[in-house]
Amino acid sequence: MLQLVKTTMAQQAQVLEFLQEWREREEKIVPNAVDRDVSDFASYVKQIRDKELRVNNVSWVPSTTYWLTDGDELLGAANIRHELNDNLLNFGGHIGYGIKPSARGRGLATKQLELALEKAKELGIERALITCDRTNVASRQVILNNGGIPDTPFTAEGGKIVERFWIELKG
């Protein structure tokens, strides 16, 4: 059964395997909230969990990171930002998510975003902003599958266009 769970010490082997798969494929790990030094795993877990309370992170917004699991396997990760700052309003939004390379193409990202939106609603977010690069057709479809309503795109430095979508969470 697919579910979102927070990071724990018991996940060390699975987290290391998850991150290694991305690195072996030389891909940018998404969401970047899980791309941290894992040489001291207790510190890794603490850093991720501290971000929920803005501990040692006054310049960034609080965020909660979840792993998409099916039993013991980590299939993806989602990072929910509890609020938006100017940067996140243009690029990043409320939720960043990614499915590990070997688990893609099975509809998992759509389910992961659905579950993350439920968590965002529990945090009191009534309207979630989700973004993706214009070239990321798969992510765009995941957002649309979850009710994303297109908003004005943002053009980042260097000309990269970021698509922006809002999803209502009320009710």
Instruction: Please tell me the distance from the alpha carbon of residue 45 to that of residue 67, in angstroms, as a whole number.
Output: 12
CA distances to 21, 39, 47, 74, 163 from 16, in Å: 9, 10, 16, 10, 31
Measured in degrees and rounded to the nearest 5, phi and psi for residue 27 equal -105, 150
Half-sphere exposure for 16 (CA within 13 Å, toward CB):
10
CA distances to 15, 76, 86, 164 from 39, in Å: 12, 21, 33, 35
CATH fold group of domain 2-125: Aminopeptidase (3.40.630)
Give me the residues paired with residue 128 across strands.
167
The per-residue pLDDT for 58 is: 62
What is the pLDDT tens value at each position of the chain, 171 positions in all? 999 999 999 999 999 999 999 999 999 999 999 999 999 999 999 999 988 886 666 667 999 999 999 998 999 999 999 999 999 999 899 999 999 999 999 999 999 999 999 999 999 999 999 999 999 999 999 999 999 999 999 998 899 999 999 999 986
The per-residue pLDDT for 53 is: 84
108, 69 in Cβ contact below 8 A?
no
Which three-class secondary structure state does DSSP give residue 61? coil
94, 84 in Cβ contact below 8 A?
yes
117, 146 in Cβ contact below 8 A?
yes
The per-residue pLDDT for 171 is: 65
The per-residue pLDDT for 59 is: 64
